[in-house]
Amino acid sequence: MTTFMPGSADQPGCFKAYDVRGRIGVDFSAAIAGRIAAAFVGVVGVGPVALGQDCRASSPAIADAVAAALMAAGVQVLDLGLCGTEEVYFATGHLGALGGIMVTASHNPADYNGLKLVQAGAAPLTPDQFAAIRQWTETRRTAESRPGGTRRNIGATRSAYVDCVMGFTDPARLAPLHILVNPGNGAAGPTFDAIAVRLAALGAPLRFTRINHTPDPAFPNGIPNPLLAENRPATAAAVVAAGADFGVAWDGDFDRCFLFDHLGRFVPGEFVVGMLGQAFLQREPGATVVHDPRVVLNTRDLVTTWGGSAVMARTGHAYAKQVMRDSGAVYGGEISAHHYFRDFFCCDSGMIPWLVVAALLSQSGARLADLLTERQNLFPSSGEVNFSLADPAGAMARVVGAFAPGALHCDETDGTSLEFADWRFNLRASNTEPLVRLNVESRGDWALMATKLAEIRAILTG
């Protein structure tokens, strides 16, 4: 049995922690995508599969290869065409499909592509399933050929998807907000337009300013990845120039959205998680909210204040979604801008969060900037600081050794979190990149947070 190692377009080095992603012609190709699709059927089973694609130049050919492999295995391909990852999630659950495949490389450079895979109910693949698909692909195991495979356009399901999204707000009760939206020339534009049309029809007094709106595989305004600080100024400036109440920017497949206040300030993810947790607890008192371990003080405080239960999940969508399902949580969020909703098949969405925030602002009468300033002063946070280190394990061990003796609480759900009377930090190795990630937060003390960040940085890099 031959195992294929990374190194060429015919030798898949594209399997990551939870999905498939690689550079076209280097470690990913349409041929590899077809083999993965055949493996998907071999592992998950034969049944209808929802298929979508982002706007990258390579996506149509890869989607065709995936569809061909699925049809050869007797599968009914439910083709959404150009869409977002969350639309594949929705179609998989809504149509009762056996699985879903999204062709996307999300926020990666234009010469990358990949696949996101889910099973029935839009549930993530288990680690064993994902490992089996990888082994099947790398060993070139042949899929069984079956008759009956078809490919059918189901773009009309977008209307049902929009219905579902509308269920998270009451359009007629929204305030007359002006919102700037920036899809970054990714896939979000057409789907946003469908939502905006429905909002107007239902009486929402919202006004939108659109920039970089048309899907363009050349990404003329840069790769849509607002998590990178260098990609934020364009949205920030546009919000201020338009006089908008707040701004929204999406990544390439729009399963994440990022918020900017009317001053053009980026709203860090930990504060968005807290806002959304509060919004859902106002609707459903006593509910459970899931959060990741990296930055927790603000979220825990708001969840407690609004009478909910906070539950921690390891970083990563597969872990968060499983804890969501196990706990029955109404909402879950990660600081990386992945937001999960019980009534959206426990999946992440980049369209639901900004609508819920608009509803929260409409109800409270507050400005996003005021809410952000208040919460940042209560719980200052460093933001995620990344380190590329020669000996990551050794460096992390030095930090834990220096601080653990004085900690009030130690948690190892994901990396190491040490909590003290007035501050806390989380230190972890990335699931997807060769980096060590650090987050430091305090209770109302900016200087303490900065001091501890400097101390830990010195140990890591010393």
Give yes or no: 106 in active site: yes
216: left (phi over 0), alpha (psi -120 to 50) or beta: beta
Q: In whole angstroms, how far apart are CA 230 and each of 18, 46, 187, 227, 235?
A: 26, 44, 21, 9, 11
d(CA 340, CA 324) in angstroms, rounded, equals: 8
Which of 198, 242, 254 has its CA nearest to residue 82? 254
- Asked if residues 292 and 311 have their Cβ atoms less than 8 Å apart, the reply is no
d(CA 459, CA 436) in angstroms, rounded, equals: 13
Which of 193, 372, 182, 201 has its CA nearest to residue 275? 372
In the set 106, 349, 362, 382, the catalytic residue is: 106
> Looking at the annotation, which residues are catalytic?
106
